[in-house]
């Protein structure tokens, strides 16, 4: 999330495409992204909200409430940055074509959880991260971008995760920018 906010600011996305990060909504009150925004007053224009999923009686009820909160901002794109919940088919359908996620593996390999340890256990020579469109099937949507890192001898899940995270911070903002570049209306030449 912080990488996207910084890239939008430094890349002048609003000036280029009229794009801004409007809101950050977290299902966890202690999310590091919320804390980061509190510590960076220059981004105080970004609205924040916590919608604690543990307070809802069902996944469907949470997703309906989350959709209502997101829709207040009328987003062109919804980015799942560190959001670790499986979304209902109704939620995915509501944002079809404008809902992206980042996953810490080279999809289609190692979809789901514990990706780094699974890559090490499988003897993978390479790991990485994937930005993809969200589909009803977990981690199966169209791949938009990938970054590759080597799995080094002696790697632990933690050391591999740290190297992958540096690449996530590069490819997710790049994929978001790519989405808006592809949506931009070309200026007629004179």
Task: Please spell the DSSP secondary structure of 80-91, one letter per residue.
Answer: ESS---PPPHHH
| Residue 139 falls in which region: left (phi positive, over 0), alpha (psi -120 to 50) or beta | left
What's the CA gap between 64 and 82, in Å, rounded? 20
Q: How far is C-alpha 104 from the chain's CA centre?
A: 11
3-state DSSP assignment of residue 130: strand
Residue with tokens 């592809």: 182
Let me know if 116 is a catalytic residue.
Answer: no
Catalytic residue among 9, 40, 103, 169: 103
Which positions are annotated as active-site residues? 103
């Amino acid at each position: 999330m912080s990488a996207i906010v910084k890239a939008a600011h430094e890349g002048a996305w609003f000036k280029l495409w009229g794009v801004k990060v409007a809101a950050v909504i977290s299902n966890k009150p202690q999310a590091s992204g919320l804390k980061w925004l509190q510590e960076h007053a220059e981004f105080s224009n970004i609205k924040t909200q916590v919608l604690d999923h543990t307070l809802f009686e069902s996944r469907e009820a949470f997703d309906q409430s989350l959709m209502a909160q997101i829709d207040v901002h009328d987003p062109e794109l919804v980015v799942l940055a560190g959001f670790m919940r499986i979304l209902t088919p109704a939620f995915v359908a509501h944002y079809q074509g404008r809902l992206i996620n980042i996953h810490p593996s080279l999809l289609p390999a190692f979809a789901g959880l514990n990706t780094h340890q699974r890559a090490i256990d499988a003897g993978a020579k390479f790991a990485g991260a994937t930005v993809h469109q969200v589909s009803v099937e977990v981690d199966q949507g169209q791949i938009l971008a990938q970054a590759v890192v080597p799995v080094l001898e002696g790697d632990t899940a933690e050391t591999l995760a740290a190297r992958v995270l540096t690449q996530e911070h590069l490819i997710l903002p790049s994929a978001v920018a790519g989405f808006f570049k592809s949506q931009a209306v070309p200026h007629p030449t004179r």
